[in-house]
Amino acid sequence: MKSLFKSKPRTPSDIVRQTRDLLRLTNRDDDKMAELTKNLREMKSILYGNSESEPVPEACAQLTQEFFKENTLRLLIQCLPKLNLEARKDATQIVANLQRQQVQSKLIASDYLETNLDLMDVLITGYENMDMALHYGAMLRECIRHQIVAKYVLDSPHMKKFFDYIQLPNFDIAADAGATFKELLMRHKSTVAEFLSKNYEWFFDEYNSKLLESSNYITRRQAVKVLGDMLLDRTNSAVMTQYVSSRDNLRILMNLLRESSKSIQMEAFHVFKLFVANQKKPADIISILVANRSKLLRLLGDLKSAKEDEQFEADKAQVIREIAALEPRDLA
């Protein structure tokens, strides 16, 4: 007789619907929290699988469709501070996974976010909350996989805040903000090129003064690495030409070349070589290179890669030749 009264197993859609209802009640009913935590764990298990089974594509698709049918994501983001640590971690992993889930070859997370871009404002300002920063930061990085979201963040007033978030005293939060900042500047090439062209002045003023000239060694090291990656990307060739035509930028890179840290020196070299390789060097750039020629040649002669690197050695030899051959008459 017992089997007649067995409860029917819940479908992925049922779990999402119940989770949505529970999220709406978190303000009023703390007793529902254990049930909500259990549901989040189940959702994570469906999306990621567990020790006994792999994820089932059909179940993942069903869960994804139901999740984005209504404002489950908004509710989850809003309620995240009220959840316990384990539930927050599960929720963060659920949101991350759902950005990649395709339903009938379509990323429906992207469609949902396109009409709910204000959620990014909540995630970005989450860096100002020590308890929530790493959870919201991880969600944000996954959301900017979608070009429409990355463009929104790049064009928003929040973009300037990253220069401060990267310098927060909490190392983990600062590093997380740095990872998000890098993702914003690296993932969607055409969107980034358009952003840098339109925002060149303020962006590089902030980049130089707050990151490249930061008193924090880790901030300087990561900033010069990202700068090199940006400028060496073909999509940003116009921005690169503009950057390497500035004497102020050259002065900053020459200072970084003189750092005691080998890793900063190496990353700085990859940007410095662009100033030297520029076939249309402005007169003041030539003037600085000529005036500092002997110091630069000595410094470059001592610069060694930690491991054997033929490309680096070839680049270095070329830079040394170019600087040695520069004549003051080139100023004419």
- Residue pLDDT, tens place only, 142-155: 999 999 999 999 99
Per-residue confidence band for 250, with pLDDT thresholds at 50, 70 and 90:
very high
Per-residue confidence band for 1, with pLDDT thresholds at 50, 70 and 90:
very low
User: pLDDT above 90 covers what percent of the chain?
Assistant: 85
Judging by DSSP bridges, how do beta strands 102-103 and 106-107 pair with one another?
A: antiparallel
Q: What is the pLDDT of residue 30?
A: 65
- Please state, in angstroms and as integers, the Cα–Cα distance from residue 107 to each residue in 26, 64, 97, following that order: 29, 10, 11
Per-residue confidence band for 191, with pLDDT thresholds at 50, 70 and 90:
very high
Residue 4, pLDDT > 70, answer: no
E-assigned strand segments in 68-206: 102-103, 106-107
pTM assigned to the model: 0.90
Q: What is the pLDDT of residue 50?
A: 87
Non-local (6+) Cβ contacts of 184 within 8 A are 144, 150, 153, 154, 159, 162, 192
30-44, 242-256, 279-293: lowest mean pLDDT where?
Answer: 30-44
Per-residue confidence band for 3, with pLDDT thresholds at 50, 70 and 90:
low
Tokens 């189940």 appear where?
A: 42
CB 46 within 8 A of CB 32: no
Q: What is the pLDDT of residue 110?
A: 95
Residue 106, pLDDT > 60, answer: yes
Q: What is the pLDDT of residue 332?
A: 44
User: pLDDT above 70 covers what percent of the chain?
Assistant: 95
Per-residue confidence band for 5, with pLDDT thresholds at 50, 70 and 90:
low
Residue of 98, 90, 166 whose CA lies nearest to 133 = 166
Using CA atoms, how far apart are residues 54 and 84, in angstroms rounded to an integer? 27
Tell me the average pLDDT of the chain.
92
Q: What is the pLDDT of residue 193?
A: 96
Question: Within 10 A of 244 (CB to CB), how many other CB atoms are there?
Answer: 23
Tell me how many degrees the CA angle 138-140-142 measures, rounded to the nearest 5: 75
- Please state, in angstroms and as integers, the Cα–Cα distance from residue 27 to each residue in 35, 71, 82, following that order: 14, 17, 9
- pLDDT 10s digits, 155-177: 999 999 999 999 999 999 999 99
Per-residue confidence band for 309, with pLDDT thresholds at 50, 70 and 90:
confident
